[in-house]
Amino acid sequence: MDSIKEDNSYSYSIKKIYSPLPCSQNDLVDSMQTYFTLYKESIAHPELFWGNIAKEIDWFEPWTKVSDGQFPHCQWFCGGKLNAAYNCLDRHLSGNRKNKTALLWEGEFGERLSYTYQELSQEVARYANVLRRHGVNFSDTVIIFMPLIPQAIITMLACARIGAIHSVVFAGFSAKSLLERIVDSGAKVIVSADGGFRRGKIIPLKERVDEALKHTTQIQKVLLFKRTGAPTGWCHGRDYWMEEEASLVENTCEPVSLDSEHPLFILYTSGTTGKPKGVVHSTGGYLVQTAFSSKIVFDLQEDDLYWCTADIGWITGHSYVVYGLLANGASVFIYEGAPDFPSYDRFWQLIEKYKITIFYTSPTAIRSFIKWGPQWIEKHDLSSLRLLGSVGEPINPDVFLWFYKNIGKEKCPIVDTWWQTETGSILISPLPKVTPMKPGSATFPLFGIEPEVVDEKGEPMPAGKNGLLVIKKPWPSMLRGIYRDEESFKKIYFSRIPGVYFTGDGAYKDEEGYFWIIGRIDDVINVSGHRIGSAELESALISHPAVAEAAVIGVPDSEKGEALIAFVTLKEGWTSSLDLENALKEHVVKEIGSIARPKEIRFIDALPKTRSGKIVRRLLKEISREGHISGDVTTLEDSQCLDKLIKG
Q: How far is the CB of 417 from ligand WT7 (least distance, A)?
A: 5
Stretch that binds ligand WT7, among 219-227, 399-407, 512-520, 639-647 (CB under 6 A): 512-520
Query: For residues 388 and 460, what is the distance between their CA atoms, to the nearest angstrom?
Result: 32
- Specify the long-range contacts of residues 54-61, CB closer than 8 Å, at least 24 apart: 54/80, 54/284, 54/288, 54/476, 56/288, 56/291, 56/292, 57/82, 57/87, 57/287, 57/288, 57/291, 57/327, 58/82, 58/86, 58/87, 58/91, 60/86, 60/257, 61/257
Cα 40 to the center of its chain, rounded Å: 29
- Give the orientation angle of helix 578-591 with respect to helix 175-185, to 10 degrees: 30
The DSSP secondary-structure symbol of 100 reads S
Cα separation, 69 vs 102, whole angstroms? 37
Smallest separation (angstroms) from ligand WT7 to the CB of 315: 5
CB closer to ligand WT7, 145 vs 314: 314
Closest contact distance (angstroms) between CB of 576 and ligand WT7 is: 33
Q: Which of 194, 393, 485, 591 binds ligand WT7 (CB under 6 A)?
A: 393
> Does residue number 592 form part of the binding site for ligand WT7 (CB under 6 A)?
no
Closer to ligand WT7 by CB, 86 or 419: give it: 419
Contacting residue, 149, 300, 382, 391, with ligand WT7 by CB under 6 A: 391
Judge contact between 299 and 414, C-beta under 8 A: no
- Residue 232 or 270 with smaller CB distance to ligand WT7: 270
Q: Which of residues 292-321 bind ligand WT7 (CB under 6 A)?
A: 315-316
The CA distance from 626 to 619, in Å, is: 10
Beta strands (DSSP E) in 156-298 are 165-168, 189-193, 196-198, 201-203, 221-225, 239-241, 258-259, 263-269, 277-282
Interface with ligand WT7, residue 392, by CB under 6 A = yes
Measured from the CB of residue 527, what is the shortest distance to ligand WT7 in angstroms?
A: 10
Q: Indicate whether 603 belongs to the interface with ligand WT7 (CB under 6 A).
A: no
CB 52 to ligand WT7: min, Å: 26
Contacts of residue 325, Cβ cutoff 8 Å, sequence gap at least 6: 294, 300, 306, 308, 332
Residue from the set 394, 408, 424, 432 that interacts with ligand WT7 by CB under 6 A:
394
Beta-strand pair 387-391/561-570? unpaired
| Interaction of residue 439 with ligand WT7, rule CB under 6 A | no
624 touches ligand WT7 by CB under 6 A: no
**CB burial class (10 A; 0-12, 13-18, 19+) of residue 137?**
exposed
- Residues 471-510, mask of contacts with ligand WT7 (x by CB under 6 A): --------------------------------xxx-----
Positions 263 through 282 that interact with ligand WT7 (CB under 6 A): 269
Is 420 a binder of ligand WT7 (CB under 6 A)? yes
Orientation of helix 534-542 relative to helix 578-591, angle to 10°: 120
Complex with ligand WT7: residue 131 or 563, whichever CB lies closer: 563
What's the min distance (Å) between Cβ of 517 and ligand WT7?
Answer: 4
Chain residue at closest Cβ approach to ligand WT7: 421
Q: Is 541 helix (H, G, I), strand (E, B) or coil?
A: helix
The reply to whether 419 sits near ligand WT7 by the rule CB under 6 A is yes
Count of residues touching ligand WT7 (by CB under 6 A):
23
The window from 80-88, 180-188, 453-461, 525-533 that contacts ligand WT7 (CB under 6 A) reads 525-533
- By C-beta, is 225 or 314 nearer to ligand WT7? 314
Distance of alpha carbon 221 from alpha carbon 232, whole angstroms: 16
Is residue 239 within the footprint of ligand WT7 (CB under 6 A)?
A: no
147 binds ligand WT7 (CB under 6 A): no
- Residues 117 and 327: their CA atoms lie apart, in Å, by 11
Q: What whole-number distance in Å separates Cα of residue 140 and Cα of residue 129? A: 14
Residues in contact with ligand WT7 by the rule CB under 6 A: 269, 315-316, 391-394, 416-421, 442, 503-505, 517, 519-520, 526, 529, 531
